[in-house]
Structure 1
Amino acid sequence: MTAPEPRPGLRERKKIQTRARIRREALGLIQEQGYQATTVEQISDAADISPRTFSRYFSTKEAVLLSVDHIPPIIEAFIAAPAHLSVIDAYRQAVETTFAALDDDAREEAIVGQRLMYSVPEAAGLIYTEYVRLIGPITDALTQRPDAPTDPVERRVLAGAIVGVLIGASHGTPLPGDPISTSLRVLDRMLR
């Protein structure tokens, strides 16, 4: 069992708060005015930051739509999942646990961001880039799962299979649950 991560320092907590504020303001403006009509300058003004500060937190306007902040806790929960669970079941549980732990505001923000991500044409490729990027952290986490393959290529293929299921099942689906959970259960059954 791994020791819990130490609480982030003040500077890191402020960065997390600033990032969350920028994203919250951006989503609110985009819902109110539409994606095309919302500018980085408007988002920056609403979040009480400069456009330059915006670019330190988000590489593009489209990037505010992504919920990448959920990836580290999912990976941590995946690693910490009970050893008796299969790899796929452990990942499914990690996703469900992470999203179940969100408060109502964070859940609503995740839903809004996901819906916008799938409906804004400029953002379409960004989510799939993030899915491809997710293969790396899952592959790394598999080294800590007891029943994961020991071969690095096999671990990467398994991580790719998990991400493939996420892509196939989640297109247009705001949050985990069905069809994502059902699809991961199908993959788990197929791999046994």
Structure 2
Amino acid sequence: MPVESSLRARKKERTRRTIRYEAFRLFREQGYTETTVEQIAAAAEVSPSTFFRYFPSKEQLVLADDQDALMIEALAAQPRGQHPLTAVRNATEQVYGAMSAADLAFEQERQALLHHVPDLRPAVGLEFQRSIELAAQLLADYTGRGVEDFEVRVAAGAMVGAMLAIVATTPVNSANVGHALDLLQAGLPFEAPNGRP
């Protein structure tokens, strides 16, 4: 990549991150609903039109998942032949293990916003479907099956459903995601409190 293009790409990424971090700071200080795009733009020292070049809406600013591209890359690098959920778990550990403490805290805050702000609840359904499609594509690519394959679709729905179920009460990190994937892979073994099935 030419130096000028590389500098431009870094500047764009810096601007995008600044907009997001300033938005989240304002959400913490005054609430998601009370924060306007104009306030976010002013805090990030950009114009509202620049905000909209990076994010189509305030809602999309929260929905944007910076881990998607990293997960696609990490899963593609996993050796073939292992159980697909093991591959996803290993890719998740790789992605979360490489995150800085600040980036992990940001992702946990983003997830909390999605699942605790009433104004964002309608968007969660759309995000749920988008996540299933992404998971199905990841699994299809990894296994060599079609994205419409029944088992691929069921596994994708189970993985995304598991994440949705835990995110409201448990921090998003590689240990908790890994534990959820392990339970799915083991066939959801339930034991009564006294240890009996």
TM-score (structure 1 length as normaliser): 0.82
Residue 180 (structure 1) aligned with residue 174 (structure 2): no
Give me the whole-angstrom Cα distance separating, in 2, the residues matched to 1:180 and 1:125: 24
State how far apart, in whole Å, the 1-side matches of 2:111 and 2:138 are: 25
Q: Does 1:66 align with 2:59?
A: no
| CA–CA separation in structure 1 for the residues paired with 2:147 and 2:63 | 32
Unaligned runs of 5+ in 1: 1-7
Deviation at 1:53, TM superposition (A): 1.5
Q: Counterpart of 2:105?
A: 108
Q: Secondary structure of 2:110's partner? A: helix
- Is 1:15 the equivalent of 2:48? no
Task: Give the C-alpha shift of residue 119 in structure 1.
Answer: 1.9
Residue 187 of structure 2: aligned partner: 190
Deviation at 1:91, TM superposition (A): 1.0
**Which structure 2 residue ranges, 5 or more long, are not aligned?**
189-197
Report Cα offsets for 1:130-157 as digits up to 9, x if no partner.
23112223322333324x6457323233
Give how far 1:84 is off. 4.1
The answer for the alignment partner of 2:130 in structure 1 is: 133
The structure-2 alpha-carbon separation of the partners of 1:150 and 1:73, relative to structure 1 and needing over 3 Å to count, comes to same
CA distance in structure 1 between the partners assigned to 2:30 and 2:146 by the alignment: 51
Calculate percent identity across the aligned residue pairs. 36
Q: Deviations over 1:13-67 (max 9, x none)?
A: 3322221110000001111122232211110011111112212222222222235
Aligned pairs, how many? 184
CA offset at residue 164 of structure 1? 2.0
Residue of structure 2 aligned with 1:124, choices 114, 121, 146:
121
How has the CA–CA distance of structure 1 residues 151 and 128 changed in structure 2, closer, same or farther, with 3 Å as cutoff?
Answer: closer
Distance, in Å, in 2 between the alignment partners of 1:84 and 1:58 is 39
Cα deviation for residue 114 of structure 1 reads: 2.0
TM-score under structure 2 normalisation? 0.80
The answer to whether the 8 Å contact 2:112/2:168 transfers is no
* Contact kept? 2:18, 2:44, Cα under 8 Å: yes
Quick one: which amino acid aligns to residue 82 of structure 2?
Answer: L
In structure 2, the residue matched to 1:5 is none
- 2:140 match: 143
- Residues of 1 paired with 2:161 and 2:110: CA distance? 21
CA distance in 2, matches of 1:151, 1:132: 14
Q: If you compute each CA radius of gyration, which structure gives the higher value, 1 or 2?
A: 2
Deviation per CA, 1:81-122, whole angstroms, max 9, x where unpaired? Answer: 232431011112222221221112212222222222222111
Q: Comparing 101-110 with 11-20, which one deviates more in the overlay? A: 11-20
Q: Secondary structure at the match of 1:14?
A: helix
Q: Distance in 1 between matches of 2:126 and 2:166?
A: 16
For 2:177 and 2:147, the matched residues in 1 are separated by 27
